[in-house]
């Protein structure tokens, strides 16, 4: 499971502003005592973090965690970004913001400008923190959609690669690292189906391929695609196709699809 900023707690805002790199300029080498949220607006930013290279492009965000060595070993490509220094908590699990992702920063520019003006004018910390939270909410919403899609895609691939396996909700939760309720919610939001409904549909589609492309008996096909018995397979098939598996095969229904 991903490690990210804990959204159940309230990060503490410090300062923010714009940073523009001149041609050939490098990221500062440092160990920062605060977390830094970078929101890329233009160009490409290059730096090393604990010896590993990081390249950030326009439309990406990145959280540099405090206490980690960052080095500007190579020049950045005329990078321009908005930065925010803050202090947050980190953990694995749900309700976290990944340390790296993408966002609609063009739409956030009015927020950056307002926060920048508040920062420059020395306004109170409550106002500045409120605008900081607007930024976090914006990138969190995008990140959650991306995460949801990735989790559902991974589980769907797991199911389709071994269609005969039972694939219980508990095992899906253990595989993804998310709770059973979260898996159900993710599937409904991404596919309009529950995980069980997706498994059933995937098995029926696999059965139809075998009916169309093999001479295997219907009972054998039911077993190969993971149904617990012929009766369950038959009922599910008829419910979806309005004909029995045998009739579907005889009529060559797959040729019409």
Give span(s): CATH 2.60.120.280, the chain: 3-147
| Pair of tokens at residue 141 | 């919403």
Over residues 213-230, the pLDDT tens digits come to: 999 999 999 999 999 899
Fold category of 166-257 in CATH = Arc Repressor Mutant, subunit A (1.10.10)
Over residues 167-200, the pLDDT tens digits come to: 999 999 999 988 999 999 999 999 999 999 999 9
Among candidates 92, 97, 94, which has minimal Cα distance to 181?
94
Predicted pLDDT of residue 32:
97
Give span(s): CATH 1.10.10.60, the chain: 166-257
CATH of domain 3-147: 2.60.120.280
Q: Categorize the per-residue pLDDT at 122 as very low, low, confident or very high, splitting at 50, 70 and 90.
A: confident
Average pLDDT for 44-49: 97
Predicted pLDDT of residue 123:
84
Average pLDDT, the chain: 93
52 burial type by CB count under 10 A (0-12 exposed, 13-18 middle, 19+ buried): exposed
Average pLDDT for 3-18: 95
């Amino acid at each position: 499971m991903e490690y990210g900023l804990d959204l159940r707690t309230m990060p503490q805002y410090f300062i923010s502003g714009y940073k523009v790199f001149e041609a050939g300029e490098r990221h500062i080498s440092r160990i920062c005592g605060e977390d830094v949220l970078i929101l890329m607006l233009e160009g490409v930013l290059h730096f090393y973090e604990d010896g590993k290279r990081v390249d950030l492009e326009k439309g990406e965000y990145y959280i540099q965690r405090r206490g980690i060595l960052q080095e500007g070993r190579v020049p950045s490509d005329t990078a321009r970004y908005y930065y925010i220094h803050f202090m947050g908590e980190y953990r694995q699990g749900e309700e976290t913001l990944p340390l790296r992702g993408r966002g609609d920063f063009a739409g956030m520019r009015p927020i950056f400008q307002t926060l920048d003006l508040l920062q420059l004018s020395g306004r109170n910390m409550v106002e500045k923190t409120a605008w900081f939270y607007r930024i976090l909410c914006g990138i969190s919403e995008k990140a959650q959609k991306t995460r949801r899609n990735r989790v559902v895609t991974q589980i769907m691939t797991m199911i389709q690669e071994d269609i005969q396996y039972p694939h219980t909700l508990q095992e899906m939760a253990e595989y993804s690292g998310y709770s059973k309720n979260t898996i159900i919610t993710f599937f409904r939001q991404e596919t309009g189906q529950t995980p069980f409904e997706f498994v059933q549909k995937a098995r029926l589609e696999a059965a139809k391929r075998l009916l169309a492309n093999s001479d295997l008996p219907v009972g054998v096909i039911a077993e190969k695609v993971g149904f617990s018995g012929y009766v369950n397979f038959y009922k599910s098939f008829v419910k979806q196709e309005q004909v029995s598996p045998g009739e579907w095969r005889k009529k060559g229904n797959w040729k019409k699809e």
